[in-house]
Amino acid sequence: MGNGDFIILTEYVKKVYSDYVTDADRNDPRAFAVRGDVTNLPSVFIAAAELDPIRDDSLKLAELFSEAGLPDGVFNLVNGDRHAVETLLGDRRIQAVSFVGSTPVAEAVYRAGSENDKRVQALGSAKNHAVVMPDADLDNTISALLGAAYGSCGERCMAISVAVVVGQETGDALVAGLAERLTELTVGDGRDATSDLGPLITGEHRDRVKGYIDLGVEEGAELAVDGRMHLQGEAGFFLGPCLFDQVKRHMRVYNCLLYTSPSPRDGLLSR
């Protein structure tokens, strides 16, 4: 490594500092690399998630860079446990760290990086909102929300998990339209091209997400589409798409960023 080396910490850091793991597609470290940014830095390291299949894609990307003639050591993929991540965070030869994820983990990465004199970009969690007005084209709006909330399994920074609907009539029509379209999504093996949603990464994480769905019902939100039916009868850790209606700001399903893999599965409507 040389001066100016840059490390992208993907979701394995969440395994290190918190109780759950999510799909590294949220951070999309490949996008950073293929934009051409690697040509402006002496070296780039991607610390991939131990439990995350993105590492296979990242390995393929490394192979393609090598075949294209990128010098050894410019693009680096690190698979490892907690010690590997802590080593990268503590190595003073690495000058900058970029992280996107939950707020507690972002704070932990910021502290660790700052203590070792690094420039740190640590972006915390957020829920993206869309406002639906009474004069909206509902067909286009429903298609847009399906893509934004459930497309790519929701694993991207700009996934929209909350729709704020203006007007009771508009809300009723939007819920009915989304519910109908969600029944058309296929939940199955992520390697099957016909699947729209694959399994969650572990049984523990599936149970955690299901717990949030249960909590939303307990707090009074209306579960217009219940994806918990996919818990049984599948060889894997599956949940189907969910849609909550009548979500209020005090509810934890509204205030908590529900990391799922895939995600968000928890479409929320507030009106």
Active site amino acids? 157
Q: Is 23 left (phi over 0), alpha (psi -120 to 50) or beta?
A: beta
| Sole residue written with tokens 């519910």 | 179
Q: Are 10 and 24 in contact (CB under 8 A)?
A: yes
Q: Which element (helix H / strand E) includes 270? A: strand 266-270
Please report the beta strands in 72-217, taking only residues with DSSP state E, as ranges in sequence order: 75-78, 94-100, 119-123, 128-132, 160-165
CA separation for the pair 90, 213 (Å, rounded): 38
Cα angle 169-145-271, degrees, rounded to a multiple of 5: 35
Query: Which residues on neighbouring strands pair with residue 44, listed in sequence order?
Result: 6, 75
Q: Which residues contact 210 (CB under 8 A, 6 or more apart)?
A: 228, 231, 239
Distances in whole angstroms, Cα of residue 199 to Cα of each of 82, 121, 187, 196, 232: 25, 30, 8, 10, 12
